[in-house]
Every structure is written in C-alpha cells, then in structure tokens.
A and B are shown apart, each in its own frame.
Chain A
Amino acid sequence: MGKEKPRPDGTLVQGTLDMLVLKTLTRGAMHGYGIAQSIQQISDEVLRVEEGSLYPALHRLELDGMIDSEWGQSTNNRRAKFYSLTSQGRKQLSKEAGEWKRLAEAIARVLETA
C-alpha cells in the first residue's frame, strides 16, 4: 500500500488516519501505542503516525461511536486503554474503504493512460 497518499513528510491527511485506525482495529482491541506501531510496521515505515493526530482521532472516533474503549492490562502489565471496533465503525470502514479504493483506482487509471 505504498500509494496511500502520504504527504511528503509521511504524515497522513485527515480522514485517512481514521480509516487506517478502524482497519487496524479489525484485528482486535489495541491501545494507542499499538495502533501507531501497527500502522508504521505494515506500511514499511512509510506512514508515520504522530501522537498529536492519533489521540485526537481516537477520542473523536470514540465520541462518534465508531470505537469503544476499555481499560485493561498491557502485555508488560501496565494499565492501558484498549480500543475496539463497534458495529457502526465496521460499517463506516467498509464504506470509506470502498470509496477510497474507487478513488485510488480512478487516479491510477488516469496516471497510466496519460
């Protein structure tokens, strides 16, 4: 997914981050740090998630009911806040992913033809 439309500095545009967070959470509940790590690793370090955008996005998604949160124990036995996907979040994800795909394909076609 190297064509994830990163900005030159590798940060994500608003909205895209929401989608990536939701997608990441399909693999199960995760804390904020884990989400950031996961996105970075899967994108081969191309996408860097900054804390300054991640936490506002998480709290916004939670307020909108896309994700739920629960306090639990992290792998190294620390108190951490775990986020999980709600059914509404799942619906939102499939909608956004579909739209993104359509858009990306369209752009790709234009680039190839030209």
Chain B
Amino acid sequence: MRRIRKKLQALWRRRRLDRDLEDELRFHLEMKAEEGSSPLEARRSFGNPSALKEVCRDMWTFATFETWWRDIRYALRTLGRSPGFTAVAVIALALGIGADTAIFTIVNGAFSWDAGLDRIDRVVFLSTTDASHSQDFGASYPDFRDFRARVKSLSGLAAYSMIPANVSDSSGLPDRYWCVQMSANGFSVVGQKPLFGRDFTPADERPGAPPVLMLGHHVWQQRYGADPNILGKTVRVNEVPMTVIGVMPADRRFPEDTDLWTALVPDAARERRDNRSLMLFGRLADGARLASARTEVDTLARGLAAEYPDADKGLTAEVRPIIEITGLYSHRPILAAMFVAVGFVLLIACADVANMLLARGAARAREISIRVAIGAGRARIVRQLLMESVVLSLAGGFLGWLVALGGLRWFDAGTGAIAKPLWLHLSLDRTTFIYLAAISIGTGILFGMAPALRLARVDINSTIKDGGNGAAGGTRGLHLSNALVVLEMALCVVLMVGAGLLIRSATKLYGTPIGVDSSSVLTMRLNLPEAKYPRPADVVSFHYRLKTGLESLPGVEATALASNLPLGGWMDQNYELEGAAPDPARSPRIGAIVASSGYFRVMRLAPLRGRLFTDSDGLAGLPVVMVNQSFASKFWPGEDPLGKRLRLVWARAPQPWLTVVGMVPDVLQNFRRLLERDPLIYLPYQEEPERVVFVVSRTRVPPASLTQAFRREVQGLDENLPVYEVRTLGERIAQNRLAVGLFGAICSVFAVIALVLSSVGLYAVMAHAVSRRTQEIGIRMAMGGTARDILQMVFAQGMRPLAIGLAIGLVLALGVTRVLRIVLTGVSPFDTVTFLSVVLVLVLAGALGCAIPARRAIRVDPVAALRRD
C-alpha cells in the first residue's frame, strides 16, 4: 500500500525523479573520482549507469504499465514508418483471423446446440427395429407403454410422432405447420416448461379427452400477433378443433424443430402393436450409464419379441444420445475439417508475416544492436519486438472482425432460410469476441517469437561494424525462412487439394443431367387432412378439380401429381419379384414414386420401352407399374422388362401382382448421394392416392410468376387448405445441391487466400535472399557467370523449399481428404486430376514468386554490386 502511494506521488513528479536519480548517481561518481581513481576507472567499476538508472527508475514507477505503454507507442511509430510492410502484414492477418473467426462462429454455433434441453447429454433416443425392417423403425404405442413400465435405467420415457398440420381459424389465412403429437410427460422428460399456460397432463392423453394444443413461440408471435389472451382459444388443426393450453418459450422447438404440440392419444389404430409410428426419447436415470441402458433396453425388446411373436418378431432396440441424432452431428467431421482448413489459412498468414519480419530483421539489426549496446536487456528487446507483432496482429484482428462479419453475412445469404438449421444463430457474440481477441494476441506471439528471439541474439560488435548484414541474414535465419516456406506450401497443398476435390464434385454434380427438364416447372405441396377428406375418392376428386383449375390458367401447359420430385427421394416399399424366391421374413425394399399420368409429360420424360401411365391406370383393368432403366438392368439384365410382374408387400401381406408396362430413363432421385442412379418403380396415382403430394406444372411463362395464381386456385377450392413450398423445380434442385456447392465455395475461398499468401511468402523470402546475395551475384557475373547460371541458382534455391513443401503437403492431403468423403459426389478422395492440378498450380505460383527476384538478380550491375558497402 505504501509503495503504491509513494509511486502515485512520484507519478506527478516524474521529471524531478529523473533529475534526482541523475544527480544522485553523478554525485557518487564525482566523489569516487575525488577519492583518487581516474574518472574512467570510477566509471568502469560503476558498471552501466544508464542501466542502473533504469533499474532504480522502474522501482519508482508502475514499471510494467508504463513500459508496456512505451512499447506500444514505439511499436506504432516503427510500423508507421514502413506502411507497405504494415499494410501487407495486416491484410494477411485480417484474412486469416477473419476467416478463422467466421468459421469458429459457425462451428461453435453448431457444436454448442442443446435445443434448450436440460442436461442434453443425459437425453437419449430409443429406436427399435424388427425382423422385417432393416433399419431404424418406429415403436408402437403398446410397445412404448411396456418399455415405459419396465425400464429402470431411464428416469422417463416419452413418445411422439410428427405430422404436418394445416392450421386454420378466424385469425387469418390457413397456415401449414409441423405438429408433434407427444405423450404428456414429453416436456418434463427434457426439462422444459411453457412460457405461460400449462403443460400437458395425463388427462390430456386419455382417449376421448378434449384435444389440446401447445403453440411454439414463433407461431404465437407470427400468426397470433403475440396475443396475451390466446389461452383457451380454439384452433383447427387438420380440421380438428383444439384448445390452446400454452405457449412455449422462444427457440424451444424440441423435438425436430416443430411448431406445435398436441397430446398423443392412443386411439384404436395406435393400440395395434404392429403400428410402428412412434419415436421414443427418454432421460438416463441418475447414476445410470449409457451402456447399462443399452443392455437393459435391448433385453426388454427381446422380451417383448418373445411375448408378442406376431407383432414384435425379431424386435431389438437401441439407445443413442440425442446429440448424435439431431443437430449437425453428422456434419461434425466436415465442420471440423473446415475448422482445420481455416486454421491452416491462419497458420499460413502467420508464417508469411514471420517471414516478412525475418527479412525486415536484417534491416533492423543495427538499431537493435545500438539499443543493446546502450543497455537494453535482451528480454526488453524481445518484448519490444513481440509488442510490434502483437500490435500488428491486433490491427489484423480488428480488420478480421469486419472480414468475419462479411463472411458470416455471405454464409447466411448462401445457406438461406432453407438449408440452415433453424436453431443455428450466427452472431458475433461474446464467446466469438473472446476467441477473436485470443487468436489475435496468440498469432502475434506465434509469428513474432522466432524473429524476435533471432534478432535479440544479434552479435552487437559485428552488426554495428558492418552496417547490419549480420543478424537475420545468417544461414540460420535463412533456414528458418525456408522452413516457414515449406510449412506454408505444405498447408497450402492440403487446402488446395480439399478445395479442388470439392470443386470437382460441384462441377460433376452440376454437369450431370438430372434426367428431367427442370426449366419452367412450378411445384407446390399440399396435404389433405383426413378429417375433411376421409376417403381416397375425396382425395382423388380434390386433386382432379385442382388439376383442371390449374390447367385452365393461362400459361400452364400441363399439371400432374407426384409423391417425390427429382433429388427428393422416394417412398420405401417392400416388394417381391415374380419368380424370385419369396422370403416372408425379410422382403427386399425398393424406392417407389407415385405419379399421375401427366407427370412424365411435365418432366419431359419419354418412355424407352412400352408406354406411360394413362388416366385409367390404377382405376380399372390390369394393375400396372413402370420401372426405370436401372431397375430393369439390375433385375432383368438383357431381358425385355415389359410384361414382367412384381408386387408390393404391406405388413407382410402380398398385394396383387403389377405388370410392367413401360420403362423410363433414370432420373436422379437420391438426396444424399446426389449422383446415384437408384433402381426405382413408378406407381400410378389412382392406385395409391396420396394425401401429401407435390403438384407440378409445366408452364409457358416464367414459372415464378404463377405463384399467386396457384395459391388462389387452391384457396378457391378449400379456403382452409394451406399451400406450402411453392417453388420452381430449378430452385428445389439448387437447394438439394447446396451443401456441395457451399462447402466447395468456402473451401475455394480458403484455398485462394492460402495460395496468394504462400506465393507472397515465397516471393518475400526469395526477394530477400537475392538482395542479400547481390554482392555474390555481382562477383559471379564479373567472373563470367551468365544470366542462365544466375537464374538457375535463384530458381534452385526457391524451388527446394517448394518441392519439400509439396511432398509433405501431398502426404498430408492423402490423409486429410478422407474426411471429405461424405460431401464428395462422384469424385474419389484420391482423385488424380485434382492432385496433379494442385501440384501444377503451386509450381507455377512458386515459379512466379521466384521469377521477379530472379529477374532482378540477372540485372545486377557487377560494378555497382561490388562497390556496395
């Protein structure tokens, strides 16, 4: 305390403190001189008076703060004196830090998702599988009831199923939402409570209970204008009137980003044990481990299989943490890869600036030597130099913040409202800011440390004497520079290979025809509620009237219905081929698309064999089916598919035989592997009238211009029926391909930055090396060396680190690109074309980086060079 008071007092008398110190030491020296020793001798035994003065002075001042402040001012002055270097360094750092921060924001947002669930790591999904289904399948209500009653390792088990919901009431046009039917304990299992109103109670899930509805916050805000008196109002959901009992808080949309919740009531259909339509989630009991829950649940499932052999034959169950199933879990490797990639960009930027600092070091060696000579400690020198790098990196960080803002805006625009998960909020929040500040300072120390240490070790004597060629110019400095270039090149190779593969994927993807003519097609989706359209005939009649209405619109050429659109998947069906050995336990599955007769005309699909569906197919006469080319060549290779028969198998009951009447070319339907040509069958719409369908129309005018007309047409037929996803077919396809394009674009941006930075880095090192060797080059030329010799010398020196970097980078890339496999389409992670192009581009860039210094080298005037110094 006393110290601080005295120091504060001294703060106001700074000038007097300096004078006093000066006087005190001078007095001492004078006394000493008078005692007989010569002034020189007195001074020698005294040591370094400046250093001593500084030690004493530091004691009286808030040394740390003040010297830091001095260092910062000094750093700013130094950097201001070489604006060119400063600008290049700050821009390089801003690109690196900005890109890194932007990706951090995205990855952090994606990884920290918890959907507002209480202790999300304890929440698990319970999925069941039975003998006739090869993959995860739903559970039935009786199974759910049994699991819930028997399981010990879960403290709660809830069930839900998700349905599209047409919401209509007096407060506006009908809207289409997703609604979760959930057992009453659902919210309490995940630890959520409504914002206001009440939670579901067991009374709500009793058969015959009055239907109740929970609103999502956004539905309450958007549809009901945040009406505070919403509780108790009646809302029609799929034509069933329901009473609003509560509103959930903002951003609470568990499960599956739903909009609405209603109680799951076990009606007669649900009471059937083979009606598997429920998803189950629960919470691990306190003290229970995931492994023990797994074992217990699987044992219970096998017990049920033994108990109810008819419905639950072969039942098995699996417990998985919810994080693995939802969120961006499946994208984690890609996100991690992006994070690593952007880390590489930052490292390259660091190596670049470090190299520039090393080159600058040569020029500064003299200044440093003088400072050391007059008493500056090495630690002070290192600190001063580090301060310069940190000031640089902080400036880079500040600019980088703007880069990150721009990058995120671009990402937001690129992903749009469709591809980006609803819960992913991208904003530069406090965490991001701390991260930005940390990497800014961290990079400053990272790239500044080696040059600073090198400079602080300068040999004072030789440097002051020979005018500053000694310091970083030594061979060791050159080794470090070369090592940095190798590092840059290696990282650059990895980035470029990654980007190259993604670009190749994208070009493959966009270059492959879908198989249909997607121009001038408008699509929309409808969902006819069972309450209002109970019989298939009602559905067919509505769709027929709609088709007639749409086709009478000017500009509409033809209209049709389909269950799935190109790149939009299919419906899985169990089936049997005629003549194949039947396997009742596990019948094979095939993708099926339900399409009305006009579908192929709208999509411009001509039959390769046989005919297309007609309006009467599926109504009367022989039941028919169409297949695509892949199906025919897979199951009937070399044979005529026409006249072959197959049948669907529903709940292990074979349906009537269907005769193949036509074969169409393959259309890309797979939305995961976008280039896959899957064997598919087409079923006539009248055979399978679907409630949820896409309406597709070929138009003679730009399709988007008909959006409002289409909506009006539907509303004219049923004013409570919402129309959703009114989009052109082109838009839909672009969306499905977005991931590859987006990752490709991001990675390409990184790769271009990396390439530019590494080339600049190589150039800086080469330029520095050439200028250092000017004298030597002069001598060589004077001795008769030709321009060719000089060129060879410079290129050999520049290409060596490049070649080593390339070799290391290629090996790294072979390991790293494996991660990209899940987004690569039609390109192997070891694609030769990509690897070769990367090598070529880098060698060219490297040659360019060497060419300019080399040109300067052969223009060296031997006489002038020899006279230097």
Contacts and interface: CB of A to CB of B under 8 A. Distances in A.
Are A and B associated in one complex? Answer: yes
B206 interface: no
B6 A32 contact: no
B646 to A, nearest CB: 96
B335 to A, nearest CB: 55
A51 B28 contact: yes
Nearest to B31: A33
B30 A78 contact: yes
B447 to A, nearest CB: 36
Contacts of A31: 27
A4 interface: no
A56 B55 contact: yes
Interface residues of A, number: 21
A56 B57 CA distance: 9
B59 interface: yes
Contact of A63 (B20, B25, B60): B60
Nearest to A81: B24
B28 A32 contact: yes
Contacts of A32: 24, 27-28
Contact of B47 (A51, A64, A65, A74): A51
B47 A63 contact: no
B22 to A, nearest CB: 11
A80 interface: yes
A2 interface: no
Nearest to A79: B23
Given A50-B47, A64-B2, A65-B2, A59 B28 contact: no
B27 A63 contact: no
Interface string A63-97: 11100000100101011110000000000000000
Contacts of A81: 20, 23-24, 27
B46 interface: yes
Interface in B26-46: 27-28, 30-32, 34, 45-46
Q: B-side binding surface: helix, strand, loop or mixed?
A: helix
Interface string B105-121: 00000000000000000
Contacts of B2: 63-65
B63 to A, nearest CB: 12
A56 B58 CA distance: 10
B525 to A, nearest CB: 80
A51 B23 contact: no
Contact of B28 (A33, A56, A64, A79): A33
A60 interface: yes
A60 B46 CA distance: 19
Interface in A13-69: 31-33, 50-52, 55-56, 59-60, 62-65
B56 interface: yes
Contacts of B25: 51, 55
Contacts of B60: 59, 63
29 contacts: A32-B27, A32-B28, A33-B28, A33-B31, A50-B47, A51-B45, A51-B47, A51-B52, A52-B52, A55-B24, A55-B25, A55-B52, A55-B55, A55-B56, A56-B56, A56-B59, A59-B56, A59-B59, A60-B59, A63-B3, A63-B7, A63-B60, A64-B3, A74-B31, A76-B34, A79-B23, A80-B24, A80-B27, A81-B20
Interface of A: 31-33, 50-52, 55-56, 59-60, 62-65, 71, 74, 76, 78-81
Given A33-B28, A63-B7, 17 more contacts: A32-B27, A33-B27, A51-B46, A51-B52, A52-B52, A55-B24, A55-B25, A55-B28, A55-B56, A56-B52, A59-B59, A64-B2, A74-B27, A78-B27, A79-B27, A80-B24, A81-B24
Interface of B: 2-3, 6-7, 20, 23-25, 27-28, 30-32, 34, 45-47, 52, 55-56, 59-60
3 closest residue pairs by CB, A with B: A33-B31, A52-B47, A33-B28
